[in-house]
Structure 1
Amino acid sequence: MRHDIQPNERAFSSKEVAEEMNIASATVRRYGQILERNGYEFFKDGERRIFVRSDIEALIAFRDTERPKDEMAEDLARQQKERLEESDTTDMTIPDTYAGSIQDPAQLHDFLKVIANELAASREMNVQLTQDMEQLKTTVARLQQDHHVISSGVGNFSQKTHTKIDKLTEQQKNHYEELLKEEKRKSEALHKELQDMREEQRKEWRAQNDFNQQLAEAANKSKGSLGKLFSLFRK
């Protein structure tokens, strides 16, 4: 576990590191994940990384390298481990230092100053976190509003489309019914015309038959009169 933070050393948030390095906060998080995957350690506040100056220098070197990222991350993790081991062999731990000098007013003042600086850094990080949360809430609210607007627009468009389809369907149905009525009317008129033609034809046939019958009767009568005339001559 890391213990190399120095008295009065400032802590930085991901956003502050991103601004200093002129990269996105998401890129800082991605770099941190690659470094951690290869053994590099960061100070943590829960799941949130806290950066000190040595971490920023490591991130800058990681950003600017032309070597493969995992290879560079392994070197940075190895350098950090060597630095921490060297610090373990040459320096006393912070609790021992303060325990041996807590009676000295000057060192007590320095100790309180370190605590105050750390509290100030924590407050600053909390303020930044609060601002990030507010910004996130605003973004989420805006996205929800946009989603509502889009959903409403899609719903209105769908409703209008269905209305148009229903109207066109009704128009086609009415047109089809009118066509059926017209065809039925034409069929009935044609049927009546055929019946009238047949009736007229039957009348003509009856008239022709009557004429033929009358003609036959007249011919028979004429034949009878001629026979009588010829019989007189024979006498």
Structure 2
Amino acid sequence: MGKLQGKVAVITGGTAGIGLAAAKIFVAEGAYVFVTGRRQKELDDAVQDIGDNVIGVQGDAANLADLDRLYETVKAATAQIDIVFANAGVGEFAPLEGVTEEHFDKIFDINVKGVLFTVQKALPVMRDGGSIILTGSVASIKGTPGLAVYGASKAAIRNFVRGWTVELKDRRIRANVLSPGPIATPMTAAQPQEAIGKIVSAVPMGRMGEPDEVAKAALFLASADSSFVTGIELFVDGGRAQI
């Protein structure tokens, strides 16, 4: 029997990278999974790649109407959920003097507002004893040139988890942050490669991580293996944030 047998999970940003890898491993471990993505073609491809026990719902995590439609779909299909993996996020480099209002709003709308309302709107359909997982980043605690706004957005969701751990304790809902280091994803590939190379050079393990390595940590936080784990930030970073 799989570690998530009979569980229902929602994964935002599930069309590529960490989200897609997590969706695959959750399904392999027995879960029924809802994945979201902004672009229908990529969402359709991801659903086909995942295979059985998955429903794709097109939408933007920063758009509250899209989130309402997501959970209406969930309620119609399964009634309740056990796991929310608020993974949708965006990262862009911008030096301090180059930060614009547009850049700030984009990062915080998706990474902070989107995460907050993804979780808030899940609560009415979430079973007691469930698991909330947020995708953070080592950037929340490591100073990196050009990533201050991104890092600040990830520090904000770290604090969400601290508050939610206390607020949701009576429902026995656990909340944790999963913080990767540099991971070989399409989002990372779209960044300036010289900057990414400098970050990777500071990783003690000497390489980028793979989406599957982060997905396995997400499985731990989603499953009963972490039944006494809440309020933490779990780094999957090759040691980048530990030194």
Indicate whether the TM-score tops 0.5: no
The structure with higher relative contact order (CA 8 Å, sep 6+) is: 2
TM-score range, shorter chain: under 0.3
More strand by share: 2
More helix by share: 1
Q: TM-score, normalised on structure 2?
A: 0.20
Q: TM-score, normalised on structure 1?
A: 0.21
Q: Which is greater in Rg?
A: 1
